[in-house]
Structure 1
């Protein structure tokens, strides 16, 4: 075999090997293309099925599912509500009188002690008006009313004058409560109003009182008006000087619509509640609120007795929102 024949044969073998490699590469490329087209077709069909649903039914993808809110409900009821004004005050004697001496001098004798009962014109102290080089008879100081000694500001030996009281006598058989009402509330306070008193000395107990005195003027410095209340029942445990917490009942309303104050939402200038609309949706209801006291609110307009309202879980709700009632709270009593 000549050299030319051998060279031709080698070239032929190389061409065959190159053709085989090209054929294999084409096959791999075709397989990849078929796989890509198949995956794309599968994805497209899946998306189509997801949008239309079986037989053209509603969309059931996770993105479009409704959020259902868990809520607690209660019921609007009819009843009584009281408007209360809370202030603080002091227990004072019904009548209290300061006792003065007739002359200046030294307090030589003090014949009574704090808490002693004295009668009118009884001598309670003696004042020695003597001066250096001059001697005078001691001047007696007499009680001007019958009652109990509630204050003795001086000790024996102190120098006193007619301008300063040396004792205070009070009638403790009848006690009063004295308090001061801020000017903005005085229109709500009237004679005969009832009040509940509480004392730190007797926690959990309440004592009744009635407004019996209203000052005719408002203090121009403190901007308050003084009022006094009489205790309805005498109780020896209550003593002059005690600190009292006073709850004045300024208004009583009967047969009004009442709901827990926590049900009410104030948002963007609107006051409203959510009521149940059917079994699984709520309705936004604009209301007009009246008295609010101790977690209970009066509803003047927008709600009827017996309607079911959302008590808890209403913060994120909107009108017609879907809900699930998980608990029902007993209505107000």
Structure 2
């Protein structure tokens, strides 16, 4: 017979299990309800999106017309080609070289350089001492020659006294004619030896002066090989001197263009810092290089030109003047390797025109073909335009010039605005 407390425990366990099953069923029902709500909300949102897309599709045909109606045109300023008279130029390349370069060397050999007084870049004057050679040996030989000269002078004085006495006794017969002739001959020999010693003395003095290496002309030292302590050899180069500091531009010009140049023509080349340098044609070479088929044109440059010997320079020659149709460089657009301008029609629509350009001067460029003088074109900002665009033309803005600047309103750069 079961015990009462065990029966009561069994009943409690069954009730607990029933409650757990009930909770599980309720949770499952709640999950199903939540899923159904989420599905309904998603379907509702999808329906609203579809309705909105349908409304947008219905309104689409009218959008382009509205956009075209409200599209804002570019605002530009225009300019017209302006005739001008420009110089005809001939471009050339070449090197800058000294007008004349003097080589200064030693005239004596076997003497040591004791002092060097100048260096590369120094400006020297004609006759200025550049270097000194050791003069000890030359001075000793000079002293010896002077002593020999004094001895010769004494010998000549004695010979002259003997010859004078012989002349006095010639008519008396006290001495023979042969002895008189010997005295006269000794006098002439002593005089010749004296002249020879004097010449030797001048030679030694000249050798002494040659121990001082002097500048042969005014100029600038461009090279130096002299070193203190080295032994100079006759004709050895010690210094190189640009005479008078003068430089010239040796421009290479083709044989076909060489005949257009004459002495006295003006030339302009660009220095290393971009400064233009004016020169004058001194000479046109009479021959043509058979290798390059080019001829040289020698252009004299001013002393303060700001260029250096050995540098490469580009320049041009002014061979005359001619008319030109010009535009601001800002009006010409480089696109796909060609140059274009944008012509503005009466209705404000722009058309892209291909042009051929030539010379440039300042901020203007010459138009050779592709544009008529009366055609207005966009002044600047052509890079923002395409063929067929519609623009709005306005007057160029007035820019006040600064006092003393000399800038007029017409020279102000036009702008392109959106």
- TM-score scaled by structure 1? 0.57
Residue of structure 2 aligned with 1:117, choices 125, 133, 150: 125
65-74 vs 275-284, which deviates more?
A: 65-74
Inter-CA distance 123–292: structure 2 relative to 1 (3 Å threshold): closer
Q: Distance in 2 between matches of 1:199 and 1:291?
A: 20
Q: Distance in 1 between matches of 2:216 and 2:295?
A: 30
Residue of structure 1 in register with 2:187 after alignment:
none
1:212 matched to 2:282? The reply is yes
Q: Secondary structure, in 3 states, of the residue corresponding to 1:262?
A: helix
Q: Distance in 2 between matches of 1:294 and 1:62?
A: 43
Inter-CA distance 88–49: structure 2 relative to 1 (3 Å threshold): closer
Give the greater-gyration-radius structure (CA).
2
1:303 matched to 2:371? The reply is yes
Aligned pairs for 1:61-76 (under 5 A) are 61-62=66-67, 68-76=73-81
Q: Secondary structure, in 3 states, of the residue corresponding to 2:352?
A: strand
**CA RMSD, 1 decimal:** 5.2
Shift, 1:165, TM fit: 1.6
Q: Distance in 1 between matches of 2:345 and 2:298?
A: 52
Structure 1 runs not aligned, ≥5 long = 1-38, 52-58
Q: Secondary structure, in 3 states, of the residue corresponding to 1:280?
A: coil
Q: Distance in 1 between matches of 2:336 and 2:95?
A: 40
Q: Distance in 2 between matches of 1:268 and 1:213?
A: 43
8 Å Cα contact 2:250/2:297 also seen in 1: yes
Inter-CA distance 228–184: structure 2 relative to 1 (3 Å threshold): closer
Residue of structure 2 in register with 1:190 after alignment:
261
Inter-CA distance 147–219: structure 2 relative to 1 (3 Å threshold): farther
Q: Distance in 2 between matches of 1:124 and 1:196?
A: 36
Q: Secondary structure, in 3 states, of the residue corresponding to 1:304?
A: coil
1:229 matched to 2:299? The reply is yes
Q: Which structure is higher in helix share?
A: 2
Aligned pairs for 1:68-217 (under 5 A) are 68-82=73-87, 83=89, 85=91, 90=96, 92=98, 94-108=99-113, 115-118=123-126, 138=207, 141=210, 147-148=217-218, 150-151=220-221, 153-168=225-240, 170-172=242-244, 176-181=246-251, 187=257, 190-191=261-262, 192-196=264-268, 208-215=278-285, 216=287
Aligned pairs for 1:250-269 (under 5 A) are 250=318, 253-268=321-336
Q: Which structure is higher in strand share?
A: 1
Inter-CA distance 164–86: structure 2 relative to 1 (3 Å threshold): same
Deviations 1:229-265 (A, max 9, x none): 224xx77x56995789764335554321001223223
- Report the count of equivalent residues: 273
Q: Secondary structure, in 3 states, of the residue corresponding to 2:85?
A: strand
Structure 2 runs not aligned, ≥5 long = 1-50, 143-203, 398-409, 413-418
8 Å Cα contact 2:332/2:382 also seen in 1: no
Q: Secondary structure, in 3 states, of the residue corresponding to 2:330?
A: helix
